[in-house]
Amino acid sequence: MNTAFYEEWKQKRVNKIVNIFGSDWFAFKNVLELGACYGDIGYEFIKLGSNVTFVEGRQSNISILKKRLNSKHIRPNVLCLDQNQPYSFNLKYDLVLHLGVLYHLENWQQDLTCAINHAKMMILETVVSTTKNELAEPGIATTYGNDSKYTGLTEKSVVPTQEEIEQHLINSNCKFVRLDTADLNTSWSWSDETQIRHVYDWKYRNIHLYTNPSFPKSILHYRRMWLILI
């Protein structure tokens, strides 16, 4: 995994979230991070005073998460959970972080409903499809390093559209603000030959770039982020 890319991806999202709420807001808040992987994002909010519960589906990731946070003298609260299955903790968190997970799942509607049921507010971020009911394509996994153990994508994973997600939020009686501005974009490379971009503003100021016939579409990951009020 490209470390420079990951740090850029992480920091842009952390900065966006902190700018929305203000750094002081996080003190003593209960935060749930779904699909936490190694806990790097949740740790940023621990530093701001939040009580973070990490949810991760892979025991190998949980072991690394605990080791990393233990080295910082933190005993993390970690739950092992398969988000392809329904879940309930009988708790409402001040903030649920649902970043880069939804499109890996076989039933994104079920998972999103479960997440909503645990949240007072949520930050949701995901790849979106431009075509309804598009199955996850092998190219998506390839652009993430051709490692299905990392991507989590399966032949049953469905990448939802922006409109499908927003309709699900409306049906769930949620209010939301879509955050799709250029400050969330990332630009990085897996190799000297391949450039990959996460793009949030493809309908806006940079449309001339993304519609350029010489710009290879296979390297674009169309993404969206929402602030959701439950």
Report the candidate in 17, 167, 163, 156 with the shortest Cα–Cα distance to residue 94: 17
Identity of the amino acid at 197: R
Please state whether the predicted TM-score (pTM) of the whole model is above 0.75: yes
How far is CA 219 from each of CA 62, 135, 139, 157, 202, rounded to the nearest angstrom?
30, 18, 9, 20, 13
**What is the C-alpha radius of gyration for the chain, rounded to an integer number of angstroms?**
17
Per residue of the chain (230 residues), give pLDDT as tens: 467 778 888 999 999 999 999 999 999 999 999 999 999 999 999 999 999 999 999 999 999 999 999 999 999 999 999 999 999 999 999 999 999 999 999 899 999 999 999 999 999 999 998 776 554 443 333 233 333 333 444 556 778 999 999 999 999 999 999 999 889 988 765 555 556 678 888 776 565 665 565 655 556 778 999 999 99
Partners of 126 in beta bridges:
224
The first and second tokens of residue 164, run together, are 């499908």
What would the 3-class secondary structure string for 89-141 be? CCCCECEEEEECCHHHCCCHHHHHHHHHHCECEEEEEEECECCCCEECCHHHH
